[in-house]
A and B are shown apart, each in its own frame.
Chain A
Amino acid sequence: MDENLEEQRAAGAPEPPSQPEGQAGPPSGAQVRRDASAGRDLYMNVRVLVTMMAVFVLLFTFVARVIVVSGPSMENTLWGGDLILVWSLGYEPKQGDIVVLTQESYQEDSIVKRVIATGGQRVDIDYGSNTVCVDGEPIREDYIREPMLTPGWGEGINHVVVPEGCIFVMGDNRNESADSRYPAIGIVDARCVIGRGMAVLFPFRHWKGL
């Protein structure tokens, strides 16, 4: 039956008239295809899911990713449990940005800090006056949680010129932050940066751009 239809089509014959509802008759080509595609809908749904999964993972790998903040080192800008959007594609660290980086000399998991200075800049930290100077100029830090105290490990790295291709990072909660002052972390190679924090996505009460 279907072969005849195909042969008729191949010969340029017109399509047979469609059957009125409820009447038996030869199935149309479309019906044959629909019947023949048992499981097609299921397959298409599965394929959409698999494709979406692939697209999401590739986006999270090369373009942007979502990470959960752990620990208090960035309070009051970021809180433990905050979900933040991190932009990776083509990012170069700039002073003042909040960045996600991995310093394996400290820990395998990534950490979130603020860039205080980039390559070629000089950083001077004065715990007495609670100021951080970059290239001799004190930087305005509205974001820090409380005045700095001398860390338990000593003053650490507090007078340094940042080498080219590196960054000096600190947490906004200076008194509970292991950052570039801490010798195990130190000055960070810019290639260790995963991306820049763009926004807090969740919880909604913390929603904001960074």
Chain B
Amino acid sequence: MNPMKHSVSGRLPWLACTAALALVCAALRKWQLGSAFDEGTGLPAPGAQASVILVCVIVMAGAWFVLLSMYQPMTRRPWSPGQAHRWDLVFLDAGDPVYPVLVVAAAALALAAVPVLFIVGVGQFQRYQELLDAGLQTPSNNGMLTLATAAGAFLAALGLLQMGRDGLRPGRRGKGGFSAALPGVAGCVWLMESFRSHAANPVQWDYAPQLIAIVLGMLFYMDFAGMSAGAARPRRLLWMAGMTAILSAVSLVSTAAELSTPDVSLCSAQMGDLLLLLSQTLAAAGVLWRLPPNLENPPRFQHTPISPDPGETVIQEETTDE
């Protein structure tokens, strides 16, 4: 692999904006939790300032990331023989440890969520069975979705480990990026479990940020996988990564606030959510670290004639075959 020189400028706007907006949104969420809900009932106060401002900032963040994506410099490269897709190596950089460290840390967090969720799921299943055996009214939750979420977290950890490995090993082709589909699919189970656990909650603010964060995470991972499956959407992937980090930060604040609940089972479930949210935030940060400079100056193998066409070094155009 040829050594690549990546300018910091490519990733700086993305990382700086994402970090700043995530902090602002997290602070707003904390303010909202303290001011926008009735103390006794927990019901939302209509027209609360914090809620309105938080929504506005999230929408503005989305619009700002659209602009950043549109003006993200990107190199068009010709097709090369044997290369699956022009963007399937775009996460490769053997000389840069940051991306693999972030993604492997994300994998570790997902893996840490497995036993937590497994114990919660087993507890819920046992309680359900006890009530069933006693002939009493059973709760709507029998623990199976929580157990499935634990299994999904394990698959996600495997996928994330593979993603980190593919970003570090120069000898591998880039098809390993397809492993990003694993956390994406696992996110479906997590989403169902999260929706189920809040299905009877009339306060949408309690769970909507988390559901949206999970949805964005799922779509982010699927776009990541698409980079190596002939369906690349690099600009959309950058947008997804930024928004995943921001919504995850918002959701992390409320999840962390609920960790102090006296209900041990609920507390453990929140811990599982917390670990998974942190995991997808780190993965998104890894993508924002690696992708912008590599889109400007894509990595390649030796003897692979993929130098840009003359006069076509940098263009402002989506380059996919879809």
Q: Are B178 and A61 in contact (CB under 8 A)?
A: no
> Which of A2, A5, A37, A54 has most B Cβ within 10 Å?
A54
Whether A191 is near chain B, meaning CB under 8 Å from some CB there, is yes
Choose one: B81, B201, B203; the contact of A2 (CB below 8 Å): B81
Q: Are A57 and B79 in contact (CB under 8 A)?
A: no
Q: How far is the CA of A23 from the CA of B132 in the complex (A)?
A: 69
Q: Are B78 and A50 in contact (CB under 8 A)?
A: no
Across the A-B interface, how many residue pairs have beta carbons closer than 8 Å? 117
A1 / chain B contacts, CB cutoff of 8 Å: 81
Whether B215 is near chain A, meaning CB under 8 Å from some CB there, is yes
Whether A33 is near chain B, meaning CB under 8 Å from some CB there, is yes
Known: A3-B305, A6-B78, A192-B43. Is A60-B195 also a contact (CB below 8 A)? Answer: yes
Q: How far is the CA of A44 from the CA of B321 in the complex (A)?
A: 13
**Interface size for chain A: under 10, 10 to 19, 20 to 34, or 35 or more residues?**
35 or more
Whether B89 is near chain A, meaning CB under 8 Å from some CB there, is no
Proximity string of chain B (221-244) to chain A, C-beta cutoff 8 Å, 1 when within and 0 when not: 010011001110000000000000
Proximity string of chain B (290-315) to chain A, C-beta cutoff 8 Å, 1 when within and 0 when not: 00000000000000010001000000
> Within residues 33 to 47 of chain A, which ones have a CB less than 8 A from any CB in chain B?
33, 36-40, 42-44, 46-47
Choose one: A5, A38, A46, A194; the contact of B200 (CB below 8 Å): A194
Whether B284 is near chain A, meaning CB under 8 Å from some CB there, is no
B139 / chain A contacts, CB cutoff of 8 Å: 109
Q: How far is the CA of A47 from the CA of B180 in the complex (A)?
A: 11
Q: Closest Cβ of chain A: how far from B191's Cβ, in Å?
A: 5
B309 / chain A contacts, CB cutoff of 8 Å: 10
Q: Quick one: closest A residue to B212, CB to CB?
A: A58
Sort A-B residue pairs by CB-CB distance and give the 8 closest, nearest first: A37-B230, A43-B229, A40-B230, A6-B78, A110-B200, A54-B215, A191-B43, A53-B188
Chain A interface (Cβ within 8 Å of chain B)?
1-3, 5-7, 10, 29, 32-33, 36-40, 42-44, 46-47, 49-51, 53-54, 57-58, 60-62, 65, 67, 101-102, 108-110, 189, 191-194
Taking A3-B78, A40-B229, A44-B229 as known contacts, 11 extra A-B pairs with beta carbons closer than 8 A to each other, sorted by chain A number, are A2-B78, A37-B229, A42-B229, A53-B188, A53-B218, A57-B215, A58-B215, A62-B204, A67-B199, A102-B200, A191-B202
Chain B interface (Cβ within 8 Å of chain A)?
41, 43-44, 78-81, 83-85, 139-140, 175, 178, 181, 184-185, 187-188, 191-192, 195, 199-204, 207-208, 211-212, 215, 218-219, 222, 225-226, 229-231, 305, 309, 321
6 contacts between A and B (CB under 8 A): A3-B81, A29-B79, A42-B229, A47-B222, A51-B219, A54-B219
